[in-house]
Every structure is written in C-alpha cells, then in structure tokens.
C-alpha cells in the first residue's frame, strides 16, 4: 500500500505532466472549475430565455432544457463528441468535448434554478420597476436578478461538487482525469484493485465532502442575514 | 449537411441489440428501485434515531456514498470488490452476469443514499403533534411510525422520490463502463458496427427521453389522484 502511494502519487495528481499532457486530480479540478465557470453564464442566459415574453426564444430553449435534463450526461457527452468536429471542422480533443458537454448539461440545470428564483419573486417587483420607467433589461438586471440570485452562492458550490463527480465520466471518452489515471494505475499494478479504487474513492470523498460542508456553512451564514440588507449579490 | 438514414440503425439485427439494451436498462432501474427504496427508508430512520451511534452510521452512509461519483462506485464493485471474493464465488459470479450484478449493487447504494435524504425531509414535514397525538391515544412507538408518521411522510416524499427515479434511470447508462449490455452499451456497439453515429444516438436519446417522460407523467397522475394532505 505504501509502495503504491510512493510510486504513483505524482502520476495520480498530475498525469504524465510535465513529460506529457496534464492529467490526474489536477485535470479533474481544472475541468470542474472551468466547466462551472462556463455553465454559469449559459445557465443565466437559458434561465432568462425560459421566462422571456418572446415565444420564439422561450419555446426552443424550453425544448432544449427538457431534452438535456431528460437524457443521461453520457448521452450529451457523445453528442458533443459527434457534433463538435462537424462545427469546428477538425477532430476535437477530449478536454474541450467534456468542457462543452458539462457546460451545456449543467447550464440546463442551472437555468431551472435561475427560472425558479425569478418566478419565486412577487410579480409586483417587475411591475413596479417597469412602472417607475425602467426598461425590461434594466429592471431584470437591477431589480429582479439581484434578488433572485441572492442566495445562489451555496447552490453554486453544491453545483461544483456535482460537476466534480460528473467529470469522472471523462473516463469513458479517454480523458486523463483522475478516474482514468486510477484505472491506468490499476492496470499497471494489477494486484491491488481494492486499494487503487479505494484511494480514488477517498480522494473524491475528501474533495466533495469538504466542499459540501463549505456550502452548508455558507447557507447558514446567509440564512442569518436579514433580507432587507441583501440586495447586492 | 449529411443525410440522415435510419434504415440501417433500425434493421432487424441492430434493432434487436437496441431493444435488448433498453430491456436491460429498464430491468436495472426496476430491480435497483425495489432494493434502494427500503434501504433508503431504513437509512432515513437511522438518521432520525434517538441513538447517536445509529444517527452517525446513517450520516456516514449518506455522505460517504453521495460524495463519490457513481462511476467510481461501479469500478470499485466490479474491479475491486470482486477481487476479494474466494475463487469459486468469483467464477460463479462471472458465469452469472457479474456486470449487471455489480451495476445493481452500485446503483442501489448510490440511489438509496439520495432517497434516504428525500424520505428524511418528508418525515420532517410531519408535525411532532402527530406523534404526540398517536402516543397519547396509546399507540406504541413502532406502531406510531408504521401507521401514522411513515404513511404521511412517504406521500410527501413522492415527488422527490420520482425525480430520484428519473435520475436512476439516467444513471443506468454509466453501467456501460463495466460492460453491462444496457442501452448505452448497445448504442455504442451499434454505432461502431453501423458507422451511423448520429442516427444511433438519436434513437437512444429518444428512448431515454421517452422513459424519463413516462416516469414523470406517472408521477403527475399519482399526485393528482393522491394529493399531499396538509397535516
């Protein structure tokens, strides 16, 4: 067990880097964070389109969200694998494929959170903002969204936990993230599958449990804050 | 723009692969649901127990399982845990569809951990006065749980449990990594054999969507028929 850790810890953390491409746990974290950074604006835009007054905008986005949320993430990954090359005109690497798939998939889920947040506000908020002469965009940006997204930080951290777990599916398209690297180690060692996969499970646990505790602490802190002072996000 | 041609993908041979995959995916979902729901309820009760040790065990179960990706659960059970079995048991398992057995084990634990939380929040919506009234009427602690609290709590938990079932249905696709011949696995096989990626995955997506939609529709019908009554 000690030998296993001594021989492979660097490979586990970094993949083949610096001799080869970056991988391992670092790639998992890098992919999760960038996927969430990309998914947040996607989710915001899709969520706004979901409550738009224009049917031409609302209907196709509603359909897209419905299809994405009804399909397994793996299916979205395969679609990205097939469609990206036809859009960009060249073979796409696993990292951008995963990144786009995760951004669309999580964007669809975040959009529903944004929509629910907006629709939970009393209609009077939008009506009075418009009555005071604000345009729809300004009212959305200055009045509705700050309130709708006020408590979104804990859900974003929770979404990061979900995203970290989802990056493990990169294994299936051969992305060298930490699950893939662990399987490579398992193939090389051959005799210690329980230990290899045990360490992999423990790694995810420490990362995700730690983050979900942070989200929980944030939630409690926000819950203590009075609503009146909470306009800016 | 390439021409779409579904005739190849839907030819007799490929169609039988895809239907076989769909059937196995449905079986995985159904068997897992039968196992995970009672386990989830048991864990929820542990988390609300008056014994600290049971509460802690329930917490460890839920957090330990939810914070590890399902893919890792699958790899662990299929490649790791089977290595611990005695030779004879392992040989027997590999003759009896080890992929599906390991997939069901992984899916059961994973789904049960999420369902436990849904049931637990359902139980917490039942006011304490219900228990107090039941006890005052002379019902025992076990009977109060079984006949007063749980029936109301489970009805309140139906919507989240259904969306958990939809997640379970989608999660069966991950069993493809350990080679269980479910729908995703068969779709990849058809894609490799037919070179018709877009058509194959369109058919598979449609199948996943349809079942997700059917489960959701059933849930809406159920909630119309049996609305949650405020306690």
**Exposure b/e, A138-147, CB count within 10 A at least 16 = b:** ebbeebbbeb
B213 to chain A, any CB pair closer than 8 A? The answer is: yes
> Is the distance from CB of A75 to CB of A95 less than 8 angstroms?
no
pTM: 0.92
Instruction: Give the structural domain span for A185.
Output: 2-229
CB-CB neighbors (< 8 A) of B84 in chain A: 194
CATH code of the domain covering residue A101: 1.10.3720.10
Structural domains for chain B: 6-225 (1.10.3720.10)
Whether A232 has a pLDDT exceeding 70, the answer reads no
Report CA torsion sign: B209, B178, B181, B18: positive
The ipTM of this complex is 0.90
Across A65-90, average pLDDT: 88
Whether A216 has a pLDDT exceeding 80, the answer reads yes
CB-CB neighbors (< 8 A) of A200 in chain B: 72, 75-76
A9 to chain B, any CB pair closer than 8 A? The answer is: no
Predicted confidence at residue B105, as pLDDT, reads 97
Predicted confidence at residue A230, as pLDDT, reads 44
Is B83's CB within 8 Å of A196's CB?
A: no
| Total number of domains in chain A | 1
Alpha carbons A97 and B44: distance in angstroms, whole number = 39
Query: Which residues 88-147 of B are in CB contact (within 8 Å) with A?
Result: none
Across A185-209, average pLDDT: 94
Give the pLDDT confidence of A158-183 residue by residue, as tens digits: 999 999 999 999 999 999 999 999 99
Low-confidence ranges of chain B (pLDDT < 50): 1
Predicted confidence at residue A44, as pLDDT, reads 96
CB-CB neighbors (< 8 A) of B66 in chain A: 208
- The nearest CA of chain A is from the CA of B64 a distance in Å of 7
Alpha carbons A71 and B212: distance in angstroms, whole number = 8
> Is the distance from CB of A116 to CB of A49 less than 8 angstroms?
no
Predicted confidence at residue A85, as pLDDT, reads 82
A179 to chain B, any CB pair closer than 8 A? The answer is: yes
């Amino acid at each position: 067990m000690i030998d296993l850790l001594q021989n492979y810890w660097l490979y586990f953390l970094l993949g083949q880097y610096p001799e080869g491409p970056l991988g391992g746990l670092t790639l998992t974290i890098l992919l999760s964070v960038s996927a969430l950074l990309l998914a947040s604006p996607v989710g915001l835009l899709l969520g706004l389109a979901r409550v738009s007054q224009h049917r031409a905008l609302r209907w196709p986005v509603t359909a897209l969200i419905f299809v994405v949320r009804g399909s397994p993430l793996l299916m979205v990954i395969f679609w990205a694998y097939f469609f990206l090359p036809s859009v960009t005109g060249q073979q796409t690497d696993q990292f951008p494929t995963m990144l786009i798939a995760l951004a669309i998939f999580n964007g669809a889920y975040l959009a529903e959170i944004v929509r629910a947040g907006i629709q939970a506000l009393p209609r009077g908020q939008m009506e009075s903002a418009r009555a005071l002469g604000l345009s729809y965009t300004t009212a959305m940006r200055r009045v509705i969204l700050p309130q709708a997204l006020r408590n979104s930080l804990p859900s974003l951290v929770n979404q990061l936990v979900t995203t970290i777990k989802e990056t493990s599916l990169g294994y299936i398209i051969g992305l060298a993230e930490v699950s893939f690297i662990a399987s490579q180690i398992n193939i090389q060692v051959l005799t210690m599958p329980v230990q290899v996969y045990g360490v992999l499970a423990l790694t995810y646990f420490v990362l995700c449990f730690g983050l979900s505790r942070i989200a929980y602490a944030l939630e409690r802190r926000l819950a203590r804050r009075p609503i009146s002072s909470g306009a800016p996000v | 723009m390439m021409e779409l041609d579904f005739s190849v993908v839907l030819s007799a041979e490929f169609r039988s692969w895809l239907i076989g995959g769909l059937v196995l995916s449905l079986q995985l979902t159904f068997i897992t649901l039968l196992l995970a729901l009672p386990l989830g309820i048991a864990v929820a009760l542990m988390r609300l127990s008056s014994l600290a040790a049971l509460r802690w065990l329930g917490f460890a179960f839920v957090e330990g399982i939810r914070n590890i990706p399902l893919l890792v659960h699958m790899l662990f059970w299929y490649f790791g845990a089977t290595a611990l079995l005695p030779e004879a048991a392992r040989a027997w398992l590999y003759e009896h569809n080890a992929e599906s057995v390991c997939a069901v084990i992984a899916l059961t634990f994973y789904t049960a951990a999420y369902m436990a939380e849904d049931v637990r929040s359902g139980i917490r919506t039942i006011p304490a006065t219900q228990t107090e009234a039941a006890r005052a009427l002379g019902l025992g602690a076990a009977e109060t749980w079984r006949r007063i609290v749980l029936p109301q709590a489970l009805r309140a938990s139906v919507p989240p449990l259904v969306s958990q079932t939809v997640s379970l249905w989608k999660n069966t696709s991950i069993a493809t990594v350990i080679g269980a011949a479910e729908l995703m696995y068969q779709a990849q096989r058809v894609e490799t054999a037919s070179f018709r990626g877009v058509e194959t995955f369109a058919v598979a997506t449609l199948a996943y969507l349809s079942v997700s939609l059917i489960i959701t529709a059933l849930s809406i019908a159920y909630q119309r028929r049996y609305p949650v009554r405020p306690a």
